[in-house]
Chains A and B, each alone.
Chain A
Amino acid sequence: MEVFLVSLLNGLVYGMLLFMLASGLTLIFSMMGVLNFAHASAFMLGAYFAYSISLIAGFWVALFVAPILCGLLGAAIERFGLRRVHRNGHVAELLFTFGLAMVIEKVVQMSWGLLAVPYRIPALLDFPLFSVYGTQFPAYRAFMLLISALMFLAIWLALTRTRVGLVIQASLTHPEMARALGHDVPKMFTLVFASGMALAGLAGVIGGNYQTTSPSMAVTMGPIVFVVVVFGGLGSLLGCFIASLLMGLIQTFAVVLDYSAADLLARVGLTVTRSSPLGELLTMPLPRIGALLPYILLVLILWFRPRGLMGTRDT
């Protein structure tokens, strides 16, 4: 019970962090069809900006300023980069963001060095909030949950209650029609791209001191964010939310479930040891392949249901 509760909490925290990252990417991907490889780079930049700002002005200032900086960068990328590349098609946009991701990684390495920087949790939040059967739950994780919940609420309100939000929703599923009706779709694109990058930046501010802030952050987080977006489905923020939590919980619980396929087979009376055929594979405990599970799920969903869990359009 103890293991279940603690893992549930940790899985939720990781899932919400993924959601912060993936929500921006879902919006961008759904609306613009652009597979933004530079999204995880915004995550990394958010963490680095927050580190540098927090050295001068403290964490709380960084919490507001760093995402805004990422958003501005996103707006600039879209306005001066993507908009020009857009007329050459989706593949060109993909390659552009891919190149951008590499450039950003190198710039980060040149500016802040190759090593991880000591971006820390603010002292105000560095205490155990409560204990679950003797294991402490740090207050900072509760803070992470709070911020991501607030963010989800804010996005939902913005999309459903504001006029701009309604236009964005329309453009998410029927971009050509929205343009035909006279809405300024390019401006929507810039807004969505900038917001997506700002959200990724916010995730970076929160997640950078939870994980380590290093130039390899983007490469580590990037793939799993794509898995979440594809799994959740295009055009659906709720699908993205479910997929993020699912991935977070799967990866966390996979570590604590010490079973292998052999154990499952033993239940039906088949004994499998390391020396039996395929024995090596079947006796592999779940924790050892835990990091692989999201990608297995990705392959499965593309095989059985390409539009994702709650997608409204095909990928």
Chain B
Amino acid sequence: MKSIYRAALAALAMMLSVAVTPASAQGTIKLAYTDPLSGAFAQVGDANLKMWSYLIDYINSKGGAAGRKFELVPFDNKSQPADALLALKSATDQNMPFIVQCSGSNIAAALIEAIDKHNTRNPDNRIIYINCGAVATELTNEKCSFWHFRFDLNVAQKAEVLVRALPKNITKVYLINQDYLFGQSVQRDVKAFLKQVRPDVQVVGDELIPLGKIQDFSPYITKVKASGAQALLSGNWGPDINLLLKAGFDAGVDLRYYTFYAHLAGGPTTIGPAGDGKVYSVMPNSENLPVEKGLKDADEFIQGFHKANPGMKFDFSSVSFRTILEYLQEAINKTGSVDPTKIAFALEGMKRKDLFNYDTMMRKEDHQVIMEYMVGQLSKGTKYDSEGTGLGWKVSAIVEGKDLMQPTSCIMRRPAK
């Protein structure tokens, strides 16, 4: 009998402790952030986390929004959609207005679907999904959603930038991509733009590799060499691009590499000095962009990140996330509330100049951001080098947002205001 009383007392104590936890009604504006913080892609998630911290500190120093400060709450999703949905549940349980995610279009697709259902069923506890890097084109086309806002260019747009950057003397290319939603999106869009913009280029090889599993890419490099390709085009990210490039340089094959993500944390280190002039990547910015454009404020802002994180060797590749926070700040200040429905209506169609003085816009039709993008070439002699390798990302070409207005098949269903 005594043990039952003890159990009842324990249960009561637990219930009380939970009930007493204060609901933060007027506290910070919480952004749930979910990305892989462990596992094969931990490097990317971890780097993003540090960059977000710096940006949140910055926006809070500029007054936050509606008199409140922003706060980032990280959740490790281990690159699994199931864990990302758990993070979503935690976020909605704590009434967070925003969930932010950057890595993995498969995870993004799962989040979009789950959030659509949740927001329809819980109109008083809605959440907005800020997509900072899941770029499969479908997410703002067939799979578009009113609650999803993508703040990075999608695959089709990046593919267009990449294809336009191919020099005239390259006529044979090989494609290697990761075998999931995003990689297949790259494969499709790059081939479509090659046909449209560069019909003289022949695709001599086209591969899909398992995501995050391959340690040794030498067999693939063998195939690429045997095909006679002059350039390797790849949307791979994380270890899949780093190890691919490593294998290419180890084998000493004469190739140019046109990539989507060679510039992320760990890339330049793996490439090493052999990569001088051979590796290109499409990116929203490079640390040398403000130098070449003479933008002192942006330059100081970027270098401020390195001063604040002295042990951090990688580039401040996600500095454009500052634009996201500025959009949120403006939307919250304009509507005077943190109600996701009102914020969503305020965000769509918003226009701003970003920290590099380029025009950006959050398109109303599909919630796809229109922003400028550049092609970086890893070379010696730049003012800022990457990860202590002596090589930095030189600005090879810039494409403005207005030239990246691609059509969309999105049929946006809007809730009642």
Q: Which residues of B contact A7 (CB under 8 A)?
A: 219, 222
- B43 at the binding interface (Cβ < 8 Å): yes
Say whether, besides A10-B219, A115-B43, A216-B39, A3 and B226 are in contact (CB < 8 Å): yes
- B38 at the binding interface (Cβ < 8 Å): yes
- B128 at the binding interface (Cβ < 8 Å): no
Check A135–B251 contact: CB distance below 8 A.
yes
Say whether, besides A114-B38, A128-B252, A216-B39, A134 and B225 are in contact (CB < 8 Å): yes
- Give the residue name and chain of the B residue nearest to A215 (CB): B38
- B37 at the binding interface (Cβ < 8 Å): yes
Check A136–B250 contact: CB distance below 8 A.
yes
Say whether, besides A115-B46, A116-B43, A211-B216, A109 and B38 are in contact (CB < 8 Å): yes
Check B226–A136 contact: CB distance below 8 A.
no
Q: In the docked arrangement, what's the CA distance between A288 and B243, Å?
A: 18
In A94-132, which residues have CB < 8 Å from any B CB? 109, 114-116, 118, 128, 131
- Give the residue name and chain of the A residue nearest to B208 (CB): A288
In B29-49, which residues have CB < 8 Å from any A CB? 37-40, 42-43, 46
Q: In the docked arrangement, what's the CA distance between A69 and B179, Å?
A: 39
Q: Which residues of B contact A2 (CB under 8 A)?
A: 222, 225-226
- A255 at the binding interface (Cβ < 8 Å): yes
Q: Which residues of A contact B242 (CB under 8 A)?
A: 212
Q: In the docked arrangement, what's the CA distance between A118 and B43, Å?
A: 12
- B304 at the binding interface (Cβ < 8 Å): no
Q: Which residues of B contact A109 (CB under 8 A)?
A: 38
- Give the residue name and chain of the A residue nearest to B270 (CB): A212
- B207 at the binding interface (Cβ < 8 Å): yes
- A81 at the binding interface (Cβ < 8 Å): no
Q: In the docked arrangement, what's the CA distance between A14 and B214, Å?
A: 12
What's the minimum C-beta distance from A215 to chain B, rounded to whole angstroms?
7
Select B222's contact among A10, A211, A288, beta carbons within 8 Å: A10
Check A114–B37 contact: CB distance below 8 A.
yes
- A186 at the binding interface (Cβ < 8 Å): no
Binary contact readout B240-263 vs A (1 if CB under 8 angstroms, 0 otherwise): 001100000011110000000000
Q: Which residues of A contact B215 (CB under 8 A)?
A: 211-212, 220
Chain B contact residue count (CB 8 A cutoff): 34
Binary contact readout A30-52 vs B (1 if CB under 8 angstroms, 0 otherwise): 00000000000000000000000
Say whether, besides A109-B38, A118-B269, A10 and B214 are in contact (CB < 8 Å): no
- Give the residue name and chain of the B residue nearest to A210 (CB): B216
What's the minimum C-beta distance from B278 to chain A, rounded to whole angstroms?
15
Q: In the docked arrangement, what's the CA distance between A43 and B140, Å?
A: 44
- B334 at the binding interface (Cβ < 8 Å): no
- B340 at the binding interface (Cβ < 8 Å): no
In A209-236, which residues have CB < 8 Å from any B CB? 210-212, 214-216, 220
Select B250's contact among A131, A138, A290, beta carbons within 8 Å: A138
Check A10–B42 contact: CB distance below 8 A.
no
Q: Which residues of B contact A288 (CB under 8 A)?
A: 179, 208-210
Q: For this complex, into which size category does the number of interface residues on chain A fall?
A: 20 to 34
- A6 at the binding interface (Cβ < 8 Å): yes
Check A255–B219 contact: CB distance below 8 A.
yes
Select A256's contact among B222, B243, B251, beta carbons within 8 Å: B222
Check A135–B222 contact: CB distance below 8 A.
yes
Q: In the docked arrangement, what's the CA distance between A134 and B179, Å?
A: 29
- Give the residue name and chain of the B residue nearest to A289 (CB): B210
Q: In the docked arrangement, what's the CA distance between A288 and B211, Å?
A: 11
Q: In the docked arrangement, what's the CA distance between A138 and B226, Å?
A: 18
Check B239–A212 contact: CB distance below 8 A.
yes
Q: In the docked arrangement, what's the CA distance between A109 and B265, Å?
A: 18
- Give the residue name and chain of the A residue nearest to B266 (CB): A116
Q: Which residues of A contact B226 (CB under 8 A)?
A: 2-3
Q: Which residues of A contact B265 (CB under 8 A)?
A: 115
Check B38–A212 contact: CB distance below 8 A.
no
Q: In the docked arrangement, what's the CA distance between A302 and B397, Å?
A: 57
Select A6's contact among B39, B208, B222, B269, beta carbons within 8 Å: B222
Select A10's contact among B179, B210, B216, B239, beta carbons within 8 Å: B216
What's the minimum C-beta distance from B241 to chain A, rounded to whole angstroms?
12
Check B179–A14 contact: CB distance below 8 A.
no
- B375 at the binding interface (Cβ < 8 Å): no
Q: In the docked arrangement, what's the CA distance between A99 and B42, Å?
A: 23
What's the minimum C-beta distance from B166 to chain A, rounded to whole angstroms?
24
Q: In the docked arrangement, what's the CA distance between A136 and B43, Å?
A: 29
Select B210's contact among A3, A211, A212, A291, beta carbons within 8 Å: A291
What's the minimum C-beta distance from B218 to chain A, rounded to whole angstroms?
5
What's the minimum C-beta distance from A80 to chain B, rounded to whole angstroms?
29
Binary contact readout A1-33 vs B (1 if CB under 8 angstroms, 0 otherwise): 011001100110010000000000000000000
What's the minimum C-beta distance from B79 to chain A, rounded to whole angstroms?
10
- B213 at the binding interface (Cβ < 8 Å): yes
What's the minimum C-beta distance from B324 to chain A, rounded to whole angstroms?
24
Which of A114, A136, A211, A215 is packed against the most chain B CB atoms within 10 Å?
Answer: A114
Q: In the docked arrangement, what's the CA distance between A109 and B46, Å?
A: 13
Check A135–B221 contact: CB distance below 8 A.
yes
Q: Which residues of A contact B207 (CB under 8 A)?
A: 287
- B223 at the binding interface (Cβ < 8 Å): yes
- B345 at the binding interface (Cβ < 8 Å): no
- B356 at the binding interface (Cβ < 8 Å): no
What's the minimum C-beta distance from A140 to chain B, rounded to whole angstroms?
9
- A252 at the binding interface (Cβ < 8 Å): yes
Extra A-B contacts (14), CB below 8 Å, given A115-B43, A116-B43, A291-B214? A6-B218, A10-B218, A10-B219, A10-B222, A11-B219, A115-B46, A116-B266, A135-B253, A211-B243, A212-B239, A216-B39, A216-B40, A216-B42, A252-B216
The 5 closest A-B pairs by CB, nearest first: A136-B252, A255-B219, A211-B215, A6-B222, A114-B42
A sample of 11 cross-chain residue pairs with beta-carbon separation below 8 angstroms, ordered by A number, consists of A2-B225, A2-B226, A3-B222, A114-B42, A115-B42, A118-B269, A138-B250, A216-B40, A253-B219, A287-B207, A288-B208
Chain A interface residues (CB < 8 Å from chain B) = 2-3, 6-7, 10-11, 14, 109, 114-116, 118, 128, 131, 134-136, 138, 210-212, 214-216, 220, 252-253, 255-256, 258, 287-288, 290-291
Chain B interface residues (CB < 8 Å from chain A) = 37-40, 42-43, 46, 179, 207-210, 213-216, 218-223, 225-226, 239, 242-243, 250-253, 265-266, 269
